[in-house]
Amino acid sequence: MSGFRSYVSQLTRRGFVTPQPQKRPRTSWLRFESHLPNETWQGDMTHWELKDGTGVEILDFVDDYSRMVIAAVVLPVTTAGDVVATFYEGASRWGFPASVLTDNGCIFTAQFRNGRCGFETELTTLGINIKHGKPYHPQTQGKIERFHKTLKRWLRKRDLANSIAELQAQIDTFVRYYNEERPHSARGMVPPRQAFEALQKAAPDPEKFPMTPHTRVRHDKVDKTGVFTLRHGTKLHHIGVGRPHTGRRIIVLVLDLDIRVLSEEGELLRHLTLDPTRDYQPINARA
């Protein structure tokens, strides 16, 4: 073997062989792992089919330390807005992570278009570290890739779903079993939720985002006057977005009094601090 390596080395020096480090052996891969729950979430999207052959997408987030599934949502086509909404829905139940790791898909990042997508903007606002794997190197997101394999193996043993709602119900059943009953070898053969709840949770950088907010996510539609309504406590507030957005479907992210209104594509349409004393929140220079 040493003679063969020497021969290859000579060919490389002479320019007859082009090194391809992306094809290095598995033994040379560097393995990373979080030390606390919510230290890192891995996010990704995978494909599946309904019974009639219609393609759908499954968007999910998995906690890197415990392997617990934070969220798993079936969508016709995943948009940047769906990523933001799913992330917030997971955080409203399990808390915000200190960092998020994804691939370089356009629903997760716009860095290759010299910009930021809605998801990156939200993470930056929350003081959450954004990490992306190397292009064409899925091993970086290996834990969520492994979850996809486990999920699909389970789904293949069931009848194909007739609708998105039916598939979502199947996945919800699996996620409950996976999180709460199925032993996981990564954490001493205990279920992921048990491992997640056994330790103190990591959190975003408190200097960047000092508050611990009450969060919720709403899907709504701008009415013909350019307004949508939002309940805070027992009071209903009317929030202006603008007549140009009449009829547009929106995602409303609520962090206590901090309100962010996004389009389904992840575009930020308005950002405001709710004034609880006013029924109507008009558009102004700060909106």
Per-domain residue ranges of the chain:
41-197, 215-281
CATH of domain 41-197: 3.30.420.10
Beta bridge pairs of residue 250: 220, 263
H helices present in the chain, as ranges:
2-13, 80-94, 118-125, 142-156, 164-180, 192-197
pLDDT at 5 over 70: no
Tens digits of per-residue pLDDT, 223-241? 999 999 998 878 899 999 9
pLDDT at 137 over 50: no
Higher pLDDT, 283 or 134: 283
Quick one: pLDDT at residue 32? 59
Higher pLDDT, 77 or 136: 77
Give me the residue label for tokens 């890192």. 40
Reported pTM: 0.76
Beta bridge pairs of residue 281: 239
Higher pLDDT, 77 or 133: 77
Quick one: pLDDT at residue 25? 47
Nearest to 167 by CA among 67, 72, 95: 72
Rounded-to-integer distance, Cα 116 and Cα 106, Å: 10
